[in-house]
Structure 1
């Protein structure tokens, strides 16, 4: 049976919706990060953005300075980069450090050495998913894609054929080295962020933007 041309795009996207999970990954408690044995399932997070967390009792207002380590690209066996090129990993790591530094500087004075009342932030890039070329953007305008993305928007979920970024944040008291907070995060743009669907790394970079702002909000 042959369908009219006007319906073929819709049918293709319906099929894509059924297999959209192939473009998504579920973060794990990465076994080779320094805080791995502290991390526990985060039962208070229903979104899946922060599935593992460690938190101690901290008055974040007592800190007014921050040190940001260079971003580490995770090399453990349980990494979630798929077949991403080393060049793209390096590009994402550089973007992550720049964007987190920008956000942290709105709350803290950025310093280069340990001082009293200073936080040390370590970021580990553990995985990423690239956008699906062309179809990711087309799905924002096709009827079937609009329905799927509308449902995902209501759920704060991922858009159809959209990329994401996965990473670990570790926050320490800089003078003592004591771990104050750690978490695994998965971030991705809104399903209707068309700009974030154009370009292989655009969604991962948009996820980094969201993650950087979320961290600063947590530390206020």
Structure 2
């Protein structure tokens, strides 16, 4: 019976996965230099993206990481999070990006022809209900519901999400070369991300950094 249960759990994990899911952002917030240019992404449903005309994104192999910003305008929302928690979540995106880029894409402090400046903006955080969220994934009916949600690209039950933006500027000229807005929620069976809002935010920041790294690798292969 225990082996059967373990096999079932492995099957659920294989089907649903642990990668964060992109949720639909109805309208791009006005927190960015390129906000008027943002359009729904054709590559990632629910996301908004902008790439400057004639931008040679593959030319950028080094990156300057700006301090993160906190968006307070219309469309923002942080519930009952403390100011310290909000700042910590914003910094997670910088820290996880630094770790994900690693030595392949050096983090630098000085402008250069192959350096882009990256700036994250935290836009909104919705709360994860701790323990209850975890329980919905391990009891049979909850696991079934979350499996369906995960397979459809949806969030798990009672798990929060994080909406963030990222902008890339040419480090020498200062012009915006790319921007994106995403709302991510952890995969339906990422149990660690269900333990609380901060754990959810960490999982999202890690996945956001992984998505950026994968995009850079794709650009280098294509370029």
Q: Does TM, scored on the shorter chain, surpass 0.5?
A: yes
Q: Residue 82 in 1 paired to residue 69 in 2?
A: no
8 Å CA contact retained: 1:99, 1:209 = yes
Match of 1:55 among 51, 67, 75: 51
CA-based RMSD of the aligned residues comes to 1.9
SS at match of 2:76: coil
| Structure 1 residue 38: Cα displacement | 1.5
Corresponding residue for residue 134 of structure 2: 137
Corresponding residue for residue 169 of structure 1: 166
Highest RCO, 1 vs 2 (Cα 8 Å, sep ≥ 6): 2
Corresponding residue for residue 36 of structure 2: 37
Question: Using the alignment, how far apart are the partners of 2:185 and 2:88 within structure 1?
Answer: 17
Corresponding residue for residue 91 of structure 2: 94
Q: Please give the TM-score of this superposition, normalised by the length of structure 2.
A: 0.80
Write the deviation string for residues 106-149 of structure 1: whole angstroms up to 9, x where unpaired.
43121112112111111101111221122101101122211111
Change (3 A) 1:27 1:165: farther
Corresponding residue for residue 215 of structure 2: 218
Write the deviation string for residues 52-90 of structure 1: whole angstroms up to 9, x where unpaired.
111134443322211010011112132132332212101
How many aligned positions are there?
Answer: 194
Q: Residue 71 in 1 paired to residue 68 in 2?
A: yes
Stretches of structure 2 that go unaligned for 5 or more consecutive residues are: 1-22, 218-223
Corresponding residue for residue 110 of structure 2: 113
Match of 2:147 among 143, 147, 150: 150
Change (3 A) 1:101 1:114: same
8 Å CA contact retained: 2:60, 2:114 = yes
Question: Using the alignment, how far apart are the partners of 2:92 and 2:60 within structure 1?
Answer: 25
Stretches of structure 1 that go unaligned for 5 or more consecutive residues are: 1-23
8 Å CA contact retained: 1:66, 1:104 = no
| Structure 1 residue 32: Cα displacement | 3.0
Q: Please give the TM-score of this superposition, normalised by the length of structure 1.
A: 0.81
Structure 1 stretch displaced more, 121-130 or 32-41: 32-41
Whose helix fraction is larger, Structure 1's or Structure 2's?
Answer: 2
Corresponding residue for residue 10 of structure 1: none
